[in-house]
Structure 1
């Protein structure tokens, strides 16, 4: 797989840059809203990372399901609420420990990066209730190292030194 294949998916799926890193496009959203709060029942996006891209450590207030679509396998790095670190490998090579879908539990801190030597990974992510930026929290290395010093190596790889500006 080469960089042109990543560009193919970015162009044909009309993906745009995501603030946490990588590229995305909302692919589905529910027409239903949760009664207690006016919001979508679920949302789903395509998400693409290229070689060198990182989906930086962040947290959501809802569970998020990840589904593998194309390209190289993807590592989903998760720091669970109890402080334990897990690397889930999203892909289709089951003999090498990959799985075609991964659940990231609500309130876990997580990010993703390419697992292998490929040039891109295209996945889908579904959140219920539907994604809202008010439920999205990015972290700096300093913030995470204060609470999880035992995970310094992965935090320095997956967290921003300084948070980017985004709308």
Structure 2
């Protein structure tokens, strides 16, 4: 199956979320869910390099395919590696990064296939940057499919979830966004 189709392509329009999940053998993401279905996201690791980084046991790169259903969120977290996002098909997503260098302490990148509207097909989140993802929430039951390459390869020990209180202290101008993209109280 060619996952590089885009919205407007009749083959992509005909795909239901459950069919994509089945065809790509995606698994439910174990992330925090504050209410039923709010974080309905799926993924599959499709690549992990056999080459280690120097003398370490960590691989040089990994790649996952990730799907978010309508209205899903990926809560604030950061990694000890760069993450490269590649948009494939479906509804747009918004990547929200926390930064003291921008007004409101948030930088938003909309990824999707409408490049005329300024949507991005590719985006990099640098290591150590707090970020979350918001899927389109138009209530039509849509979904978004994208890939994430991590270099050096993803390892769970290099991932940290955002703690609401700590993020609000560090980025006070992003309070509303932090409330939406954290699952602790």
- What TM-score does the superposition give when structure 2 sets the normalisation length? 0.80
Match of 1:33 among 13, 29, 52: 52
Match of 1:126 among 133, 146, 149: 149
* Rounded Cα–Cα distance in structure 2 between residues aligned with 1:111 and 1:43: 19
Match of 1:10 among 8, 11, 21: 21
Q: For 1:4-153, what aligned pairs fall within 5 Å after superposition?
A: 5-20=16-31, 21=39, 22-80=41-99, 82=101, 84-115=105-136, 117=138, 119-153=142-176
- Gaps of at least 5 residues in structure 2 are 1-11, 32-38
- Gaps of at least 5 residues in structure 1 are 163-167
Decide whether the 8 Å contact of 1:81 with 1:108 is kept in 2: no
- Alignment CA distance shift 1:116-1:74 (3 Å): same
- Alignment CA distance shift 1:161-1:114 (3 Å): same
* Rounded Cα–Cα distance in structure 2 between residues aligned with 1:12 and 1:62: 29
- Alignment partner of 1:9: what SS? helix
CA RMSD of aligned residues (A): 1.9
* Rounded Cα–Cα distance in structure 2 between residues aligned with 1:144 and 1:137: 12
**Post-superposition shift, 1:123?**
0.4
* Rounded Cα–Cα distance in structure 1 between residues aligned with 2:182 and 2:17: 23
- Alignment partner of 1:99: what SS? coil
- Alignment CA distance shift 1:126-1:41 (3 Å): same
- Alignment CA distance shift 1:39-1:81 (3 Å): farther
Match of 1:165 in 2: none
Decide whether the 8 Å contact of 1:56 with 1:110 is kept in 2: yes
- Alignment partner of 2:16: what SS? helix
Decide whether the 8 Å contact of 1:49 with 1:120 is kept in 2: yes
Number of aligned residue pairs: give it. 161
- What TM-score does the superposition give when structure 1 sets the normalisation length? 0.88
Moved over 3 A (4+): 80-84
